Amino acid sequence: MSKSSLSAEERQWAIDRLFAERCSCVICNGSDSRIFRERGVKDLYRLLREEPEFLRGAFVADKVVGKAAAALMILGGVDAVYAAVMSTPARELFRRAGTEAACGEEVPHIINRTQTGWCPLEMRCYALETPEECLERIGEFLQTIGR
């Protein structure tokens, strides 16, 4: 089961904040809770690079979690995740890593913002096996869009 030190009530508080604040993500680690508003995986990528200790052991409430976001959370050592929407490849990556993951809705893949096709990172990470492989593709993608 989960190693997260957050109670069910504290987790629910984070999920409630996610919707009340209309943010992209709420991360709680011990007594520290933060709200994030960047689109896509930018906040998670930055945290993994600059503040990995904040992710280790954290609970994440996120609006949309695809395989790329799941990879970043796993590499960061997140203990548990709730996503309003989670892709099946993300759920499978969490399962293989032993990370507790729950969602409001599971979808075959994440779609792009214009709803005309796949999310570019979901497409780039879809066939990859490990979070480390995904991290390489995520870094390349963020460079091309001028992170």
Provide the CATH topology of domain 8-144.
Answer: Cytidine Deaminase; domain 2 (3.40.140)
Which pLDDT band, with edges at 50, 70 and 90, does 3 fall under?
A: very low
Task: Report yes or no: 85 and 24 within 8 Å, Cβ to Cβ.
Answer: no
Q: Write down the pLDDT at residue 130.
A: 97
Which pLDDT band, with edges at 50, 70 and 90, does 2 fall under?
A: very low
Task: Report yes or no: 99 and 33 within 8 Å, Cβ to Cβ.
Answer: no
CB proximity list for 75: less than 8 A, separation 6 or greater: 48, 131, 132, 135
Percent of the chain with pLDDT over 70: 97
Q: Write down the pLDDT at residue 147.
A: 59
Q: What is the pTM of this model?
A: 0.95
Outline where the chain has alpha helix (H).
8-20, 42-50, 52-55, 67-76, 88-97, 120-125, 131-144
Across 37-46, b (16+ Cβ under 10 Å) vs e yields eeebbbbbbe
Check whether 1 has a pLDDT greater than 50.
Answer: no
> pLDDT, tens digit, for every residue of 83-141?
999 999 999 999 999 999 999 999 999 999 999 999 999 999 999 999 999 999 999 99
Percent of the chain with pLDDT over 90: 93
Q: Write down the pLDDT at residue 4.
A: 57
